[in-house]
Amino acid sequence: MLVVGAIVAWVVVVVLLGLGNTVGYHRLLTHRAFVCGPVVRGAFTLLGAVTGGSPVLWVGLHRLHHARSDGEGDPHSPRDGGFWWAHAGWLIGVRNPVVVVLFALSGFGQQGMIAWHDLRRVLGRNPPEWRDLCGDLMREPLMRGLDTPGVMPALFAAQVGTAWVLGGPAGLVWLWAVHLYLTNSSWAVNSVAHWPAFGRQPRATGDDSRDVPWLALPTLGEAWHNAHHRHPRSARHGLDGGLDPSWRVIQGLSAVGLATKVWLPKG
């Protein structure tokens, strides 16, 4: 029964934190696909922060990706360094597939890079370009607070401590599995959904973005990436009727009055 309970808890946590990334960080904060009140906005932001790091960093990098998609200055284009570079190599500045795969399998590797990023900021060694794209977020106290160096590592330390108290070594393995799944499913949008061998490209976008149906469920709808690049602000990514759980959540929020000004492309 303990194993079953752990699996159920893992699924629930992965879905909730995943929605923090897809509905919160991506569709709400980055692209402003809908509007919601401060409580709902804050809740999605905090869910996204558990594994995604500072919302200002996440949003800034993603807006930079859209501004320069598969061109010079795109933080994680496969054109720049291949599939594994786009998946996670760009985070550590490594193109060697073996090293990148080991980093991806580490589960907690992204948290280490977030801590390293914070240290570089304290030392004044981080370029400000990505932060320049987040003037709207920097007006919000919660976003500025989460962007403060040390806050994200402290949040991760709290996760580790809680997992140890609740489950000891097994709790740490459970937490590792959460981070392993969520980081790699998010990175897969950068790699798989920009790689010519996968999916299809029904819309002209000027980049290599792809719609990858089999990746739609693991990414909660983010894998309709070609449709997303054609209509970045759209609250719905599965525009051709594809599975898009994140869109269903936004629909539900709208139905009960918790989301307004939901943007969808006309026609």
Q: pLDDT tens digit string along 215-254?
A: 999 999 999 999 999 999 999 999 999 999 999 999 999 9
Measured distance CA(245)–CA(219) in Å, rounded: 9
163 is a domain residue: yes
267 is a domain residue: no
138 is a domain residue: yes
72 is a domain residue: yes
91 is a domain residue: yes
172 is a domain residue: yes
260 is a domain residue: no
pLDDT value at position 125? 77
Tokens describing residue 161: 């401590």
Q: Is the pLDDT of residue 189 over 80?
A: yes
Q: pLDDT tens digit string along 74-133?
A: 999 999 889 999 999 999 999 999 999 999 999 999 999 999 999 988 888 766 667 789
Q: Select from 243, 193, 178, 169 the least CA-distant residue to 14.
A: 178
Phi, psi angle pair for 130, to nearest 5°: -65, -30
Cβ atoms of 42 and 29 within 8 Å: the answer is: no
* Residue ranges making up the domain that contains 130: 12-255
Q: What is the DSSP string of 88-130?
A: IIHHHT---HHHHHHHHHTSSHHHHHHHHHHHHHHTT-S-SHH
CB atoms within 10 A of CB 15: 13
Cβ atoms of 133 and 60 within 8 Å: the answer is: yes
Please, which pLDDT band fits residue 1 given cuts at 50, 70 and 90?
confident
Q: What is the mean pLDDT of the chain?
A: 95
- Number of structural domains found in the chain: 1
Measured distance CA(33)–CA(69) in Å, rounded: 19
**For the whole model, what pTM was predicted?**
0.95
**For the chain, how many helices (H) and strands (E)?**
13, 0
